[in-house]
Chains A and B, each alone.
Chain A
Amino acid sequence: MSNFQIKKKPTVYDAIIVGSGAGGGMAGYVLSQAGLKVLMLEAGPFYDPKLHSFQMLPPWVSLRRGAGTTRPFGEFDAAMGGWQIDGEPYTAAEGTEFHWFRSHMLGGRTNHWGRISLRFGPHDFKGKSYDGVGDDWPITYDDVKPYYDKIDVMLGIYGTKEGLPNDPDGIFMKPPKPRLHEILIKKAGQKIGVPVIPGRGSVLTEDLKDANSGRQKCWYCGQCGRACKIYGDFSSSSCLVIPAQTKYSLELECNAMVREVLTDQNGQATGVSYVSKDDGQEYQVMAKTVILAASACSSARIMLNSKSSRHPNGIGNSSGAVGKYLHDSTGVAMGGIMPSLLDRKRYNEDGVGSVHILSPWWLDNKKAKLDFPRGYHIEYWGGMGMPSYGFGFGVQGLNGKYPTKDGQTKEAGGYGASLKEDHRRFFGASVGMAGRGVGLALESNYCEIDPNKVDKWGIPVLRFNYKWTDAEILQAKHMQETFQEMMKAMGADITWGIQGKETNYGLEAPGRIIHEVGTVRMGDDPKKAPLNKWCQSHEVKNLFVTDGGPIVQQGDKNCTWTILALAMRTGEYIIEQKKQSNI
């Protein structure tokens, strides 16, 4: 007789939360703080930046000097996983492309993210009303503003009050001081009419109001991507899940890969089933409320895989919209050398690991007669950063172009003491920029279940269908033109990134910017959207989604701060609904 069995856990929880990233972490924090009995399931291992971060390891302790062999953003990056995970494939429909970055670990991708924390603005929530493109959200900026305010104070964010119409100010700590290249970029922006403002990032440049947060002020190592041992920046692991465990009795089950949401004969959610990666066993665990926060695509996958006679298209999917309207940010990048920074004076300018400056979208599409809707913001980099694998590569493409201090022009390439001088000369002279813009939420861009493929746990996998449209490609063209103009105004020579029509002007493939959202959108009409404006399933009242899935249409802003605000709002709504015994 086979000993295969499904183990049922005895406890019935008030809420189960699937996923521990920004949305799951915030929902778990809010609900457990309110005294609810909450179980959080995370598909990857436990991770605490205090114990597990690679912060301040020098490159020589890495056998590969930090090369990105097993981690796409380098060996010391805090994201386990990446574009491909062994045994957990995904596919793309012919002629389409999508890259899916997954990080199965406590805190998910918030351990390594750029901490660039931007509110969506009034236009972003009501884009269709402004320019007729896409769909409006069922809520406005004013509905979300109180939650943005709360998370600003709770989690900490730096920035400056600018009074911009669609880039709302928050409750800011002081911004980090600019680095030299950033001042020069701002100066160049003034010449050509591209605004450059201090950055906005969730890094503690001042003490948090909550003196018991266990978090310390930033120590300016510039390594937020490695996760912070002193909790000086926002990660869901360090700032939400671990505090909720220690202060509010949140229960956490790691290495728990959820298959589906379980339902009763009325179609209401009763819990979830999962496979434990620790013991390979199958489990079922019950709850009065189920909250999916597994990431936009993973939550859509779980819903589509949760089929029953009441939910033949997957749970909460009578609209058929689950998986649809998938959209990532656009991305174009360019880099080069600033000759004015050759042979520069040395000092420590690691700064914060988030952005010190950014250019918010500055044009009125109608007035500027642009041939694409919406816009993008620009992020910049440069400086005397820590060398790692790749440092000094391609010097033969540079050292013949720039005369030395003594006015001597060298033959490109070379070796010896002269080469060492060149490496010193070019250190800290590289600069670059990247645009992050609006990708449109389209019904025709979606993920669905691939009927022919399962992962190693037997869970049917996602098949992506995604194509950029003219809206994104023409926006990328505009980025190309702006960046080239900006580099010229900076007095910089472009060394990479100039691309033309045949490569979509350098537009990154869908998914590559890792801002994928929209797959379980909110909307007032149950026929068109799976969720109501509280991120609650229209048809399964005790099912919620609190990751990037509910986002109707992203703005030219990174999505994490909005995921956090919406998750807090939904958490408070759930508490209220439970008080009224509605769920």
Chain B
Amino acid sequence: MKRRDYLKFIGVGSISAGLLLESCKSDGTDAKPSTTATNPAEADIITAGREQFEIDRDKQLLGETFFNEHEMATIAILADIIIPKDDVSGSATDAGVPDFIEFIVKDLPEHQVPMRGGLRWLDMECFKRFEKAFVDCTPEQRIQVVDDIAYPAKAKPEMQAGVTFFNRMRDLTSSGFYTTEIGFADIGYIGNTPNTYTGVPDDVLDAFGVKEMNWG
């Protein structure tokens, strides 16, 4: 889905008309990968071994929508800034991170106000600087704002609300990415499979100089 396709679905009630108009003017040329590839459905709910209230709760949450389209578009762009495609693996949106974030804020409501408020803070900050919402900024403009909130130790005091939001966004994006098949391959986690544990490989024992301390 191209970025401008997201923008078609911006809820008018959720953001100022000014921002909306600005959005419509922009001609997005930066392609945006789909976040819907892994959109979870009721069929994905685990049933065996769970209590009925757990299953019912999942169904209910899947039936609810928290973020509007504008917020989802912002989350998708931010997620791919945090976890972009690189030489090793794909991006956050390749791994379906925005859909995970949509679900987890419904599941753990303590994320809701900080996330919604943080996204709005980001738009207001962009509007102050560029008279545009984050999604309508150029990639360079977006990075200019992100650079001011991504480094807690050197961020200016007036950026603190943005820093706090970005820390949470970084956390959720990282967890959302590394708990997928793409993320497993990226991090090099190769367990979760029947095997016989044969101990630390010899070359590792040697590298740490602890071969004589091995047992079993």
Binding site for B on A (CB under 8 A): 45, 47, 51-54, 56-67, 69-70, 78, 80, 86, 174-180, 183-184, 186-187, 198, 219-223, 340, 344-352, 384-396, 400, 411-417, 419-420, 423-424, 427
Contacts and interface: CB of A to CB of B under 8 A. Distances in A.
29 contacts: A53-B49, A54-B46, A59-B179, A59-B180, A60-B179, A60-B181, A63-B62, A67-B104, A70-B54, A175-B215, A180-B200, A183-B200, A184-B208, A344-B204, A350-B191, A386-B192, A391-B175, A391-B179, A393-B171, A395-B174, A396-B170, A413-B152, A414-B151, A415-B146, A417-B86, A420-B84, A420-B89, A423-B178, A424-B186
Interface residues of B, number: 73
Nearest to B209: A187
Contacts of B38: 60
Contact of A419 (B51, B61, B83, B181): B83
Contacts of A61: 44, 46
Contact of B186 (A52, A63, A420): A420
Interface of B: 38, 40, 44-46, 48-49, 51, 53-54, 57-58, 61-62, 81-84, 86, 88-89, 100, 103-104, 107-108, 146, 150-154, 163, 166-167, 170-171, 174-181, 183-184, 186-201, 203-205, 207-208, 210, 213-216
B98 to A, nearest CB: 14
Contact of A178 (B178, B180, B216): B216
Contacts of B215: 175, 177-178, 198
A347 B189 contact: no
A323 to B, nearest CB: 29
A392 B171 contact: yes
A75 to B, nearest CB: 8
A59 B57 CA distance: 18
Contacts of B176: 65
A425 B38 CA distance: 28
Contacts of A174: 216
B191 A411 contact: no
Nearest to B195: A220
A425 B181 CA distance: 19
Nearest to B149: A413
A417 B107 CA distance: 29
A413 B152 CA distance: 6
B189 A427 contact: yes
Contacts of B192: 56, 58, 221, 223, 350, 386
B151 A51 contact: no
Given A180-B204, A415-B81, A420-B86, A346 B190 contact: yes
Contacts of B208: 180, 183-184, 340
A392 B180 CA distance: 13
A53 B46 CA distance: 11
A183 B210 contact: yes
A411 B170 CA distance: 15
Contacts of A47: 49
A348 B89 contact: no
A58 to B, nearest CB: 6
A423 B187 contact: yes
B40 to A, nearest CB: 6
A416 B154 CA distance: 18
B216 A348 contact: no
Given A177-B198, A183-B208, A345-B204, 17 more contacts: A52-B49, A57-B46, A60-B38, A64-B107, A174-B216, A198-B215, A219-B196, A221-B191, A345-B203, A347-B204, A384-B191, A386-B189, A387-B183, A411-B151, A419-B82, A423-B178, A427-B189
Contacts of A222: 191
Nearest to A390: B175
Contacts of B151: 411-414
A51 B48 CA distance: 7
Top 4 A-B pairs, shortest CB-CB distance = A392-B174, A52-B49, A177-B199, A177-B216
B170 A415 contact: yes
Contacts of B57: 70
B142 to A, nearest CB: 11
B146 A220 contact: no
Given A69-B107, A415-B81, A348 B190 contact: yes
Given A61-B46, A175-B216, A414 B175 contact: no
Given A63-B107, A396-B152, A417-B86, A176 B179 contact: no
A413 B165 CA distance: 12
A416 B46 contact: no
B49 A54 contact: yes
A178 B199 CA distance: 6
Contacts of B174: 391-393, 395, 419, 423
Given A64-B104, A183-B210, A392-B175, A220 B150 contact: no
Contact of A415 (B82, B188, B198, B216): B82
Nearest to A347: B201
A219 B195 contact: yes
B162 to A, nearest CB: 12
A392 B170 CA distance: 9
Contacts of B62: 63
Given A180-B200, A180-B204, A348-B191, A62 B46 contact: yes
A48 B152 CA distance: 48
Contacts of A175: 215-216
A389 B45 CA distance: 17
B106 to A, nearest CB: 9
Contacts of A349: 191, 197, 200
Contacts of B166: 413
